[in-house]
Amino acid sequence: QKKSREESSGEGSGVEILANRPYSDGPGGSGQYTHKIYHVGSHIPSWFRALLPKAALQVEEESWNAYPYTRTRYTCPFVEKFSIEIETYYRPDAGQQTNIFNLSAAEKRQRIL
């Protein structure tokens, strides 16, 4: 929250929280769902910002936090078909597990390392 306040310095900046609620029967079981919009216009040079539509100046984040599992998706409304999804498992080791997501042999072959 502190970082959100520091980054909110007028129009076109800051974090807008659309949802922050518990969920059940979702990714990882039960946890906390958040949906945020990051307004990044103030981090882009003004001459470049003037060329971009408003939809290009925001990034949406949806996150399902069910410790030890978390799934987060980032999208930009300006580029509708683009998204990044990050899945994370927190385990009490130093990263020695070779197949944390229990991928099949076919799924392992599709990975880009």
- Edge to edge, the sheet with strand 14-26 lists 14-26, 29-39, 58-66, 69-76, 79-89
Per-residue pLDDT of the chain (113 residues; tens, 9 = 90+): 555 555 554 455 688 899 999 999 888 899 999 999 888 766 666 776 676 767 667 889 999 999 999 999 998 878 778 899 999 989 888 888 888 888 999 998 888 87
Count the alpha carbons within 13 Å of 58 in the hemisphere toward its beta carbon: 19
User: Domains, the chain, ranges and CATH?
Assistant: 3-110 (3.30.530.20)
pTM: 0.72
Alpha-helical (H) ranges within 8-89 are: 46-49
